[in-house]
Structure 1
Amino acid sequence: MWMRELLLLLALSCLAACHRGMEPVAFHDEGYPAKLSDWHVVEARDGVLQLNEGVVPYELNTPLFTDYAHKLRTIWMPKGVSAKYSPTDTFDFPVGTIISKTFFYPLPKDAARNATDVAGTYDTSLDFAAPGQGLNLANVHLVETRLLIRRRDGWVAIPYVWNADQTEAMLARTGDVQALTLVSDSGERENFNYVVPDQSQCVSCHAHDWNTRAIQPIGPKARHLNRDYRYADGDENQLAHLMRVGYLTGAPAPADAPRNANWMDPHASLDARARAYLDINCGHCHNPKGAANTTGLTLDIATPEDRHIGICKPPTAAGQGTGDHLFDIVPGYPDDSILPYRLSSTEPGTMMPEIGRSTMHREGVALIKAWIAAQSGDCVVLH
């Protein structure tokens, strides 16, 4: 028992150290502060990207792919308010909520790396982050931090780009482009342009209803958050943790809440993994109200596996986006299907998603191809 108490004391001491010297989180109900540190949500201090008091980190069961970048996600709310639980939609967050997402890359193990070299794999043995507490800046390269702010008139997205010294992120409403090089564990290199979207592009993914084009968060849904996280004081289910700290109301026990699969989980079914991957990467646009609602292709998790999800469905428009393929999904034949063709492309006008990546997600495409290859059925071509 004494050992458990000692570990808890050490964890709380670490937590207090991370907050030392940081001013309280500042919610700005208007305007666009010039520096990320003006918000005091996460700050680069003493070699660590630190989380302020009350800033709760979280992860998704299956995350959105962004050029192999890793992401530190956080939620903060003012005292005395909570988000309202929904089993299907984004939680109803109160005014004053700040959601942050910091995009970063592990640094290659090779000490002779170039200044633009970043690694795509995540080696936890390098201790990128203390449990639940930010990132060790000696082991990572920070690229950008995006904030979603719940103001009185709705959500607003504000992008910040980290400087070369990794000490501060500056407001970048017009976006940014950085030439980087991915370095694999085997030494394979891939040059690419990391694109930080400009503020106006955020609506492309974050508009839940394309008629109103009002933006809202994508990740904080029950099915994405229903998993354990290693917080500073131990492992806990994220839904249960948010309820316990007062950031969420109305949630059932985790066992009774929806849960998407982890796309890399070898114990999950191929179907569950592929559907989770399409849900987070494509479903925010390909749904009945989303930006791609005119395509007739719906890819969120609730879509039945029929023509609505693309099985034997012809495209609504011809052109380079089809690759001369006839159907979105041809059961058993991924190379004849439009869906993996567009996921594989990096050409503007062809690639999907349309923004948010400059590289092909090889492992993700392989998953979708395997899923289509395992399907049975025939597509009839009418002449």
Structure 2
Amino acid sequence: MRKTYIFSTLFLFVVSLALVAGNGCKGKSGQKINQRIENEFEFKEKLSQYGFFKGELRKLIPEEGVVSYELSTPLFTDYAVKKRFIVLPKGTAMKYTANGGLDFPDSTIIVKNFAYINTEHRNVMIETRLLAKDPKDKKWKVMNYLWNAEQTDAIKHISGAKVPIALLDNNNNKLLTNYQVPNTNDCKRCHIKNDVLTPIGPKARNLNFTVAGQGKNQLQQWAAEGILKGLPPINEVKQLPNWADARHFTLEQRARAYLDVNCSHCHTKGGDAYNTGLFLEYEQTNPDHLGIKKAPVSAGGGAGGLDYDIIPGNAAQSILLYRMNSAEPGVAMPELARTVVHKEGVKLIRDWINSMKKSSL
């Protein structure tokens, strides 16, 4: 009798476990609840499945709650036209941190879309990149989506791709290139600092400006809408200069801002290029870290036979400019995110280096 009771109890326990594993527990509404699955973020197969945009997907018209944003100085990617959005969970807000950063709530998704202008002066979508803050482990995760030829949707694409395109640069010059859609590991290389994957562009200092046509500072607008908490008086928030705005910022300010956005995510302590000793953050003041009369550490053939990263007053003999002015693999810097030379950026850095006094620093 005792053996039968034990067997029956054990049998019922096993059956109960099987039912829970197969169906999940049900709440009052009858909806299945599985805490492990509910708290783990999973990337969808198609961009359209997220519901970020309404109407024709390629037009990127944001749904309510999808916040568009712009950067004072954006990273260069083959003259790509970029549209950026932040998707916050309903009822949540970003928080301004003491060090001038932004703390995003769990389940935030940052959306970055890339298009190019073709020879018919039409925008053609190439890729969309997502950064998602997984609520399960509080870590950011990345995924790329490659747009189809019909321009109707973008499909999850992990392995990267090379897309032959004919584009127009800022002066309507035709350029032929194989645009490189990065694989997820490439994305991680740029976004990882101290072994932690983090957003690059949306920092408070790079959002602290008035977007053309909006009439109000971007950060102040978000604070007024309740999606940004803890914003101090705007004059206490650092501002990254617009590299293209020679009217309001000096040549040095613009050059340093350009290097910060395009290079410092790797060239910083804890970044992918930490071993080079070349640190290009906007706040950096150490001449050696900035490359002033500094010999390269790991450039190899990429140095072009030149001796120093930056020679004040002599851009033509500076490794920094030499690598920026190349699209050759193994030489070009940044080595990811571009396949053509950014002529305007090269001119800016050339002018900056040549403006330095040869005896300075």
| Corresponding letter in the other structure for 1:199 | T
Once the two structures are aligned, what percentage of the paired residues are identical? 41
Amino acid at match of 1:163: N
Other-structure match for 1:202:
187
Q: CA deviation at 1:88?
A: 4.4
Residue 106 of structure 1, aligned match among 107, 110, 117: 117
- Shifted more, 271-280 versus 39-48: the winner is 39-48
Q: 1:267-286 deviations in whole A, cap 9, x for unaligned?
A: 11000100000000001011
Does the aligned pair in 1 maintain the 2:48–2:57 contact within 8 Å?
A: no
Q: Secondary structure at the match of 1:37?
A: helix
Q: Measured at CA, do residues 46 and 359 of structure 1 come closer, stay the same or move farther in structure 2, by a change above 3 Å?
A: closer
1:31 to partner: Cα distance: 2.6
Whether 2:21 is the aligned partner of 1:39: answer: no
| Paired residue secondary structure (1:165) | coil
**Corresponding position of 1:12:** none
- Which one-letter code corresponds to 1:257 in the other structure? V
Structure with max Cα Rg: 2
- CA 1:215–1:289: 2 relative to 1, 3 Å: same
Instruction: Confirm or deny that 1:245 pairs with 2:225.
Output: yes
Query: Which residue number corresponds to residue 365 of structure 1?
Result: 346
Q: Shift in Å at residue 102 of structure 1?
A: 0.5
Alignment correspondent of 2:130: 147
Asked if 1:176 corresponds to 2:161, the answer is: yes
Deviations 1:300-349 (A, max 9, x none): 11101511101111111352111111110000000100101111111222
Shift of the 42–216 alpha-carbon distance from structure 1 to 2, 3 Å rule, reads: farther
Q: 1:67 to 1:87 in 2, by over 3 A?
A: farther
Counterpart secondary structure, 2:223: helix
Take 1:170 and 1:163, find their aligned partners in 2: how far apart are those partners? 7
CA-based RMSD of the aligned residues comes to 2.2
What are the ranges of 5 or more consecutive residues in structure 1 without an aligned counterpart? 1-26, 114-118, 120-138
Alignment correspondent of 1:219? 201
Mapped pair 1:348 → 2:329: yes
Distance in 1, matches of 2:133 and 2:299, equals 40
> In structure 2, do the counterparts of structure 1 residues 378 and 265 end up closer, same or farther at CA, with 3 Å as the change threshold?
same
Aligned to 2:357: 376
Q: Distance in 2 between the 1:367 and 1:165 partners? A: 38
Structure of greater relative contact order (alpha carbons < 8 Å, 6+ residues apart)? 1
1:245 Cα deviation after fit: 2.1
Retained in 1: the 8 A contact 2:132–2:140?
A: yes
Q: Is the 8 A contact 2:117 2:168 kept in 1?
A: no
TM-score relative to the length of structure 1 = 0.79
1:159 deviation in Å? 0.6
Unaligned runs of 5+ in 2: 1-37
Partner of 1:279: 260
Tell me whether 1:83 sits opposite 2:97 in the alignment: no
Q: What is the TM-score of this pair, normalised by structure 2?
A: 0.84
Which SS does the other structure have where 1:368 is aligned? helix
What is the CA deviation profile of residues 334-380 of structure 1, one whole-angstrom value per residue up to 9, with x for unaligned ones?
A: 01001011111112221111111100101101100100000013499
C-alpha distance in 2 between matches for 1:98 and 1:185: 30
Count of matched residue positions in the alignment of Structure 1 and Structure 2: 321
Residue matched to 1:132: none
